[in-house]
Amino acid sequence: MKNGRVLILGIETSCDETAAAVVADGREILSNVVSSQVEIHRRFGGVVPEVASRKHLEMLNPVIDLALKGAGVSLGDLDAVAVTQGPGLLGSLLVGLMVAKSLAFVLRLPLIAVHHIRAHVYANFLAHPRVNFPFVALVVSGGHTDLIYATSHSDFRLIGRTKDDAAGEAFDKVARFLGLGYPGGPAIERKARQGDPTAFPLPRLHTSGDFDTSFSGLKTAVIYRWRQAQERGEKVRVEDVAASFQATVVEILEEKAFAAVRAFKVPTLLLAGGVAANGHLRERFATRAQAEGVKLLLPPPVLCTDNAAMVAAAAYYQFLRGDFAPLTVSADAGLPLS
C-alpha cells in the first residue's frame, strides 16, 4: 500500500477483448479500458484464435498505457499486477500473461494469476457496496455457463456447468442460422423485442436433478422446427423464433439458478458474464428473485462482458491473502475453478 490504498493493474486477454484497468482496494475503478475485436471477428462469424492472439499483441501495450493515464497513476504507484491465467484461448492468454510477467519483473511487484470465471463474479464486488457470503453465482457467457457456490473469497465451488454448448454459444449458433449476424446475443435480443415467445413453441426443459445445463438440443430443436415449418409452408417470423429461443434459454438458466439457491440455502444470487447483459434475462431474474425473496445482484452491462476491472477486483482479495504467482506460471486454457 504505497498510497494508503491498494492499487492493482488488471490485464485480460482470454478471448477477444484486449483489456487493462486500474482498481483501488478491489472496489473503486480508476480506469477500465477495453479494446474490442468484435468487428474483426464478425466477418468470420466467431472468434478466430490466431487472429485474436495477433490483435492482443498489437493492442495490449497501448491499452495499458491508456489505463494508467486514465487512472492518473504511474507504474511506480502500483502494488500488484493481475492477469487472467485461464480458462480461455491459450495463445491469447499467453500474450496477457507474458506482458504481466514483464511488468511484475521490472517493477518488482507481486504477480497475481486470476481465474477468468471468478473474475466475472467479482464484477459484482465492483458494482455493489456489499456482497455477503455465502452466495450462488451464475456466470453465463459465450464460453461458459457455470453455477458456483461460494462461502468465502477463498472457497468457490463449481456446482453446475453446461454439458455441451455455453448459453452464449447457443445464441451465436442460432443467430447464425437465422442470418442475424455475430455476436448472437445482442442480435437475438433485438429481434426478440418484436417477437412473440409463444408463437414458435420449443420443447420444454427436461429438468434433471443436478445443476448442469444443456443447450445443444435446444439449438437443434430451433433448426428442426424452422425447417419443418418451411416444408409445411407455414409462415414463421424470425422475431418470434428469436423471442421463443431467448425465453427458453433464460427459463433454463432461471430454473437451475434458483434451484441452486434453494438447495444451498443461500440468501443471495449473483449474475455475471456477457449473457447477463441480456435485458430479458435481467428482467426475468429480477421478477423471480422478488417473488422468492432472494437478493439478486448483477453488474451493469459494461462489467458483464470481458473487462480487466473485474480481474483487478478479484486479484485484490488474493493480494490480501498473499496468493501470488511465480514468474514461471503458465497460462492454462482449461484452468479449473478450484
Q: Which is nearer to Zn ion, 84 or 246 (CB)?
A: 84
Q: Does 40 bind another protein (CB under 8 A)?
A: no
Residue window 273-312: x/- pattern of binding to another protein, with contact defined by CB under 8 A: ----------------------------------------
* Beta carbons within 8 Å of 132's beta carbon, 6+ residues apart: 267, 268
Stretch that binds Zn ion, among 37-45, 99-107, 203-211, 305-313 (CB under 5 A): 305-313
Closest CA to 93 of 26, 9, 16: 16
Q: Does 256 bind another protein (CB under 8 A)?
A: no
Q: Which is nearer to another protein, 91 or 160 (CB)?
A: 91
Residues binding another protein: what is the number (CB under 8 A)? 37
**What's the rounded Cα separation, in Å, for the pair 74 and 20?**
14
Q: 134: exposed, middle or buried (C-beta count within 10 Å: 0-12, 13-18, 19+)?
A: middle
What does 58 interact with, of Zn ion, another protein, none (CB < 5 to 8 A by kind)? another protein
Q: Which is nearer to Zn ion, 68 or 167 (CB)?
A: 167
At residue 147, the 3 state secondary structure works out as strand
Stretch that binds Zn ion, among 73-81, 135-143, 249-257, 276-284 (CB under 5 A): 135-143
Stretch that binds Zn ion, among 4-12, 136-144, 187-195, 220-228 (CB under 5 A): 136-144
Query: Could you say which residues in the range 46-105 bind another protein, by CB under 8 A?
Result: 46-51, 53-54, 57-58, 60-62, 64-65, 75, 90-91, 94-95, 97-99, 101-103, 105
Q: Which is nearer to another protein, 42 or 190 (CB)?
A: 42
Q: Which is nearer to Zn ion, 159 or 304 (CB)?
A: 304
Residue reference for cell 420443447? 203
Are the CB atoms for 286 and 296 separated by under 8 Å? yes
Q: Does 333 bind another protein (CB under 8 A)?
A: no
Selected from 41, 115, 120, 219, the binder of another protein by CB under 8 A is: 41
Q: Does 141 bind Zn ion (CB under 5 A)?
A: yes
* DSSP classification of residue 275: G
In the annotated binding site, the residues are 116, 120, 139-143, 172, 185, 189, 278, 306
Are the CB atoms for 114 and 314 separated by under 8 Å? yes
Cα dihedral sign, 180-186-191-192: positive
E strands, the chain, in order: 7-12, 17-24, 28-36, 80-86, 111-115, 135-140, 145-152, 155-160, 268-272, 295-297
Q: Does 107 bind another protein (CB under 8 A)?
A: yes
Are the CB atoms for 166 and 149 separated by under 8 Å? no
Residue reference for cell 490483435? 55
Instruction: Catalogue the long-range contacts made by 220-225 (C-beta closer than 8 Å, 24 or more residues apart).
Output: 222/174, 222/177, 223/177, 225/200
Q: Which is nearer to another protein, 103 or 315 (CB)?
A: 103
Closest CA to 246 of 322, 308, 192: 192
Would you tell me which residues interact with Zn ion (CB under 5 A)? 141, 306
Would you tell me which residues interact with another protein (CB under 8 A)? 41, 44-51, 53-54, 57-58, 60-62, 64-65, 75, 90-91, 94-95, 97-99, 101-103, 105-107, 327-331
